[in-house]
Amino acid sequence: MLPSVSVVIPCYNARRHLPATLRSVFAQHGVTLDVVVVDDGSTDGSAELVEREFPQVRLVRQANQGVSAARNRGIEEARHDWVAFIDADDLWLPGKLQAQFERLRAQPDAQMVYTAWLNWTSDEPEPAPAWLAERAGGDGLADADPGPSGWIYPELLLDCHVWTSATMARRALLQALGGFDTTLHIGEDYDLWLRASRVTPILRVDRPYALYRLHPGNVTKRVPKANDKGEIVGRALRRWGYAGPDGRQARRADVDRGLARSWSDFAGAHLVAGDASTARRAALRAVRTDPRQLLGWTVLAKSLLRSVSGG
């Protein structure tokens, strides 16, 4: 019997890219698919396109509530024990789901698995074959550098090594964790992977089987409204500390240095944008987290000078 998986695709005004995403899902072999598109109040005809061109998809409509609510609705609607996520403008490569189930056979106690991925900056629906061949170094896809696998809580404190469109997890795990936190506007996935890493090994397939689309118009940096890494990792540390469930300890100096750098970068962005007050508060958090953070001290001094001078 083939393994079964429900694929959850949150969609908001993704008419241009959604067909290619769905084709990449239906190109998966060796698995039984249940594909759920949760249309989150689209106004561009995305839902109508799915109904017309992809009758094998289960379409769920809801008023616009954000990507976390859409993914959570998909988890509720899933019919199989395993749930895989893919955003409506990303792509999977053939063999992705089969490779994940093969990885799980080697460690059946694990409730979550993800694959490596490739970044792809383009607004075209699908990449040219030459683009893939160039990055794969020839025929097929080359193996990626190994990333963390197993009880990876200490590694996640340093960086979000897991990407949503590359993940597959047991539906029961996602439900027990309460799904994605709908109060978080950015970093809701990072938060969920940290929580998952406390209760299950998270396995990795080192071969890249997904394409993470970076839209050309979104590559330029915008001033962030919040330091999502600082807030999410800080919340995890307050709750669980630096040690993983398997007893491995993250190196505190490395975690604190990364946290301080995130607050320094956040402070610097707001200083450049002219918001000295936000920059000062963030820089203070940076130097309190790691007093050796020179960038934090620099931004703190400049923000204080700007506040005193009024410009």
* pLDDT score of 142: 66
Burial of 310 (0-12, 13-18, 19+ CB in 10 A): exposed
Going through 63-162 in order, the beta strands assigned E by DSSP cover: 82-85, 91-92, 112-121
**Residue 309: predicted pLDDT:** 67
The confidence score (pLDDT) of residue 53 equals 97
Domain assignments of the chain as residue spans, ordered by start: 4-218, 228-309
Tell me how far apart the alpha carbons of residues 25 and 262 are, in angstroms, rounded to a whole number: 35
| Confidence tier at 144 by pLDDT (50, 70, 90) | low
Return mean pLDDT, the chain: 93
Q: pLDDT at position 130, please? A: 84
Confidence of residue 125 (pLDDT cuts 50, 70, 90): confident
- At residue 133, the pLDDT reads 74
What's the pLDDT score for residue 129?
Answer: 83
| Residue 176 pLDDT > 80 | yes
Percentage of the chain beyond pLDDT 70 is: 94
Give pLDDT, residue 201: 98
Asked if residue 209 lies in contact with residue 93, where contact means CB atoms within 8 angstroms, the answer is yes
pLDDT category of residue 132 using cuts at 50, 70 and 90? confident
149: pLDDT strictly greater than 90? yes
Q: Do 168 and 5 meet the contact criterion of CB atoms below 8 Å apart?
A: yes
Q: Please tell me the predicted confidence (pLDDT) of residue 211.
A: 95
User: Which of 170 and 308 is assigned the larger pLDDT?
Assistant: 170
The CATH classification of domain 4-218, taken from the options 3.40.1440.60, 3.20.20.80, 3.40.1010.10, 3.90.550.10: 3.90.550.10
Which burial class, exposed, middle or buried, applies to 121 when counting CB atoms under 10 A from its CB (0-12, 13-18, 19+)? exposed
Average the pLDDT over 118-139 and give the result. 79
pLDDT at site 134: 74
φ/ψ of residue 169, rounded to 5? -145, 160
Whether the model clears a pTM of 0.85, i.e. scores above it, the answer is: yes
